[in-house]
Structure 1
Amino acid sequence: MYRGSVESWNIRDRHMFETLQHLMAGGRKAVVWAHNSHIGHAGATAMGWEGEFNIGELAKTAYGDEAVLVGFGTDHGTVAAADDWDEPMQVMHVRPVREDSHEALFREAGLPRAFLDLREPGTGALREAWTAPRRERAIGVVYRSRSELQSHYFEAVLPEQFDAYVWLEETRAVTPLQAGEIRSGESETFPTGL
C-alpha cells in the first residue's frame, strides 16, 4: 500500500474508520493513536489535495467537534524505524527539521516541550500566522535520512490539519516491552482480550 495508489490508501483508512465506528457502537468513546498522516485531517495536506483521505478526516466528517485531532512533532533525537519496508527495525538519529517547516516554528519559539490547543479562544492570530501551507515532516515505520526531503516532507496547513499539537524538541526511540510468558489457558492478547 505504501507504494500503491490513492485508492489503496483510501481503502486502508476507510477500514480503520469502519473498525473505529464498530468499536464505538453503543455510545462508547475511543482514543486512536496513529501516525500524523492518518490522524490529521487529510484535506489540509498535500495527500488530501491529491485525493487521499484518512481516518482523521473521516472522523471529523462523521463526528464534527466531538473528534479532536492531535498531532505530534519533533526537531531531533532518535527513532525506531527501518531503512525500507520489510527491513529490520533499528534505532536511528533524526536530523534537525528544515527551516521551512512547521516544526521549525516550534523550535524557533525556544520551548523544549509544548502543547498547543488550536481550538482555544484567542488563538486566532496564531492560526492566521499558520494559514499558508508549510512543509511538515512525517517519520513512520521507514526513515530515510539521506533522502529526507523527498521521503518525509509534505505540504500542510497545520491549524486545519489538527485541533491541537504536541511539540517535543528532542525525542528518543521507543523501547519495546519485554514479552512475558503466556500462562496455560491465557490468550496471546491477555489482558486486553482483543
Structure 2
Amino acid sequence: MLGDGKSVVLSFDDGPAPVSALESILRTLRENEILAEFYVLGDEVRRYPGAASMIVSQGHDIQNHSWSHPNLARETEQNVRWELEQTQNIIRETTGVTPTRIRPPYGAGGFRGHLDPELADVARELSLTIVTWDIDTEDWKAPQGLGPGKIAYIETQFMQQPRKVSFNVLMHVQSATARDLPALISQLREWGFAIAEP
C-alpha cells in the first residue's frame, strides 16, 4: 500500500483567518484525534487573537509564516527581519508560545539548495528553522479544496517520492479545505499512512 510504514504531518498556512474555516478545521482534527501545525500571519494574529489562542489551546503547533505574506526572497534583510520579528512577537504576546519554525510564503527562499541568504541569516538570529513541505495539495487553486482532482495529484506526489517515509502535507485555512478535510484524512488512512504529530 502507498502509505505502508509511512507517516504524514498535516500543516496549514495563512491562518488564523477566516475564523469560520479555522473552527471547522479544528473540529475535524479534534474528531480525528489529530494534532497539526499552523503557519500563521502576524497581521491576522493581531486582528484575530482569539483564533490564534484557539489553535494553541487545542494542542496544535503555531508557527511563523511572516507578517504580511511577501515573497521574502525578494525583500531586503531589514524587511525580512521586520516580517519575522513582528510575527514572533505577536504570536508570543497572544498565545504565550514562541515559534521555532518559519515557513516562508510561497516557499520562496526556503528550499534546500535555494536558501535565500538574508532569510537564512534572520532565521538563525531568531532561532527559527526554515521549513517547506513535501506534498502540495494546491487546495487554493480553482476549484478550491481537496476534491478528486487534487486527491489524484496528491497520490502522484507520494508515488514520486518512494523512498521518503515522512511527509509534510501543505494546506491552507480556507472554507473549501475545511469542507474537504474529513475526506482527505479518510483517504490518507485508506492509503495506509499514519498521521503523526508535528
Please give the TM-score of this superposition, normalised by the length of structure 1: 0.31
Ranked by relative contact order (alpha carbons within 8 Å, sequence separation 6 or more), the top structure is 2
* Higher gyration radius (CA): 1
By percentage of residues, which structure has more helix? 2
